Structure 1
Amino acid sequence: MTDSAFATDDALRNQIALWQRELGSVRRLAPNTLEAYGRDLDQFLCFLSGHVGGTVTLAVLRDLRGADIRAFMAVRRADSLGSRSLARVLSALKSFFRYLERQGVVATEALNVIRTPKLAKSLPKALTVIEARRTVTATAEMEERPWVAARDMAVLSLCYGAGLRIAEALAVTRGDLEGPSLRVTGKGGKLRLVPLIDTVRRSVELYLELCPFKLWPDEPLFRGVKGGVLSPRLIQLRVVQLRSALGLPPSATPHALRHSFATHLLGRGGDLRAIQELLGHASLSTTQIYTAVDTERLLDSYRKAHPRG
């Protein structure tokens, strides 16, 4: 907590700490989600302190009305917060109030009357096969240190060749590589097995040969130049360099490689259920968006190639 720590009482701060502990240890939310939820609640309590003109307590939360929540959402909207971020804010607040209700501390209907902002459906922007391959392989042309070049290529290979999220790739340990498939810990701590094609496995093995640091079986493989766990920011910056050097679109990011993995598999006749398992999606509906991506790419090619397009 930041400023809101000065506008809340001890009882409420204690409940917030317990809620955050539950999110991390029981629900096992990703660190970025935990940070975002904490920040959203912090901003709400700061707003509420000014709204009620005093310290925010559990009693204040019990007396909340739908109008109070709408006023806060209106302020956040005025701050140019988009619908997707507003939906996350509402999700954070509902999570906290559901926790308070389960503990028998606070029960309120205020959030039940607030509608989640409508989200515009946006299709994942996949790279072409050539663009994706160049993004993975061109690192060697931009990095003088062979082990760093091998490291970055291995990470990007896992994103495109195995469909991993960047956080999943950076969490891979030597123990996860044992056997024919890679063991991946995804969102919510869910485990899945992902087959590694030879090209991806060779990229990882080359990095292991060149890495100057001792790598223990249960520790993350990928290291920074001082031996610490590699920051995702460094991989993101590497892709920014590659975008500029290769003339790639702004949509070219480490996560776009994961989108490309799914889109290219589907375009080659991959089974949607199998792709769902490989990506670690909890729901098939999440994976089905790639059918729209593939259809859109097909129509785009048709428009460009047809004589009357």
Structure 2
Amino acid sequence: MPADMRKTRTPSVLSDGSATVEPVGPLLAAPDLRAAAGDWLRRLATERRLADLTVEAYGRDLRQFLAFLRDHLGGPATIADFTGQSPADIRAYLAARRGEGLAGPSLSRALAAIRSFARHLERTGHAGTAALTVVRGPKKRHALPKPLTPAAALRVADADEIDPAGDEPWIAARDAAVFSLLYGCGLRISEALGLTPADLPNREAGGTQTLRITGKGNKTRIVPLLPAVADAIDAYRTSCPHAPEPDGALFVGARGGPLNPRIIQRRMANLRGALGLSDSATPHALRHSFATHLLMNGGDLRAIQELLGHASLSTTQVYTEIDERRLLDAYLDAHPRARSG
């Protein structure tokens, strides 16, 4: 990968569009293409309301393609160069990225980013990129999510398991509360860390407590807040030495700033070793565990779809395959005929 590409980083795009976006430098593209790319990323953030990390990933994918195109052309590409690509150009780029070790899902996202930018160019009065309608993306490998067992998921969300020596009680309580939200409410890590104190329900009001979660695509959903999860959050808030603002981050780091998701990921990595869990035990695996364990206990697939915030039922249906596989494994382990075969 060219050195100038590795050092370039897409600036954050604010939801109100006030940030100036310069996704590519003059060494990668001509002025007209750079301006169009900046406008495209701003539209992704403001009109389509994609998450900042998604916008950043799309900008990175476009920069990588433009670096390839620059090397192919011998200089920075213009809009005319971009729209005039051949199917062979696109295939050569995908082959080069695969040669660098990029896996199928990442290749698919890279191609999706290029297509999205091409559609933006066409909508703003430029020629279409016919080559992108011809080239197919890599075949998707159907990998099943790998949930934790119920016992393991509960241990991960236990502050005593996180910090058995009691050396950092408020931080252990914080991480336990985060893991409890991932497993008990099925949240994504970004959704849990995006919560503010103002988002929490009033427990004194009684009745069923719920959280209003804004997930991917700025879609809002309501999820029940189980008493055990609420208790874990209360334990963290009571012990936390920092007092967050009502609209500030609920979960904070050691110095009081918003909690970095990498801290939670490192905590899970440590727990994998301490609890003897597999490498597939990640924070996101707790969300998979939430859905799988609900389904195993008779949960309705449509309800699970709503709780997870999936746009399509087909995304949620993957958990039925996990349940079927567990049933088959149980049968093969227990049935006398299966053992004798």
How many angstroms apart in 1 are the aligned matches of 2:28 and 2:137?
27
Deviations 1:134-189 (A, max 9, x none): 11112132651211111000000000000001111000111211252011110011
1:24 Cα deviation (Å)? 1.5
How many angstroms apart in 1 are the aligned matches of 2:122 and 2:241?
52
- The answer to whether the 8 Å contact 1:243/1:250 transfers is yes
Do structure 1's residue 252 and structure 2's residue 281 form an aligned pair?
Answer: yes
How many angstroms apart in 1 are the aligned matches of 2:138 and 2:242?
48
Letter of the 1:149 partner, please give it: A
Distance 1:259 1:292, change over 3 A: same
How many angstroms apart in 2 are the aligned matches of 1:115 and 1:42?
21
Aligned to 2:212: 183
- The percentage of aligned residue pairs carrying the same residue is 54
Give the secondary-structure state (helix, strand or coil) at the position aligned to 1:282.
coil
1:113 Cα deviation (Å)? 0.3
Do structure 1's residue 169 and structure 2's residue 189 form an aligned pair?
Answer: no
How many angstroms apart in 2 are the aligned matches of 1:94 and 1:19?
12
Aligned residue-pair number: 309
How many angstroms apart in 1 are the aligned matches of 2:49 and 2:322?
31
Aligned to 1:72: 93
How many angstroms apart in 2 are the aligned matches of 1:4 and 1:105?
21
Within-5 A mapping of 1:271-290: 271-290=300-319
Deviations 1:235-263 (A, max 9, x none): 01101111100101111111000000000
How many angstroms apart in 2 are the aligned matches of 1:173 and 1:122?
34
Distance 1:8 1:287, change over 3 A: same
Greater relative contact order, per chain length (Cα 8 Å cut-off, separation 6+)? 1
Q: What is the TM-score of this pair, normalised by structure 2? A: 0.87
1:190 Cα deviation (Å)? 1.0
Aligned-residue Cα RMSD (Å) equals 1.4
Aligned to 1:158: 181
- The answer to whether the 8 Å contact 1:123/1:289 transfers is yes
Letter of the 1:87 partner, please give it: S
Do structure 1's residue 205 and structure 2's residue 205 form an aligned pair?
Answer: no
Q: What is the TM-score of this pair, normalised by structure 1? A: 0.96
Distance 1:223 1:143, change over 3 A: farther
Deviations 1:33-89 (A, max 9, x none): 222211111111111011112221112123211111111111111112111111011
Distance 1:5 1:304, change over 3 A: farther
Letter of the 1:160 partner, please give it: Y
Do structure 1's residue 31 and structure 2's residue 60 form an aligned pair?
Answer: no
Do structure 1's residue 129 and structure 2's residue 150 form an aligned pair?
Answer: yes
Q: Which moved more, 1:6-15 or 1:248-257?
A: 6-15
- The answer to whether the 8 Å contact 1:61/1:106 transfers is no
Aligned to 1:149: 172
Give the secondary-structure state (helix, strand or coil) at the position aligned to 2:163.
helix
How many angstroms apart in 1 are the aligned matches of 2:85 and 2:102?
23
Task: Give structure 2 stretches of 5+ with no counterpart.
Answer: 9-23, 203-208
Q: Which runs of 4+ in 1 moved over 4 A?
A: none
How many angstroms apart in 2 are the aligned matches of 1:301 and 1:246?
24
- The answer to whether the 8 Å contact 2:272/2:279 transfers is yes
Letter of the 2:172 partner, please give it: A
- The answer to whether the 8 Å contact 1:132/1:257 transfers is yes
Aligned to 1:263: 292
How many angstroms apart in 2 are the aligned matches of 1:70 and 1:89?
12
1:106 Cα deviation (Å)? 3.5
Give the secondary-structure state (helix, strand or coil) at the position aligned to 1:194.
strand
- The answer to whether the 8 Å contact 1:4/1:46 transfers is no
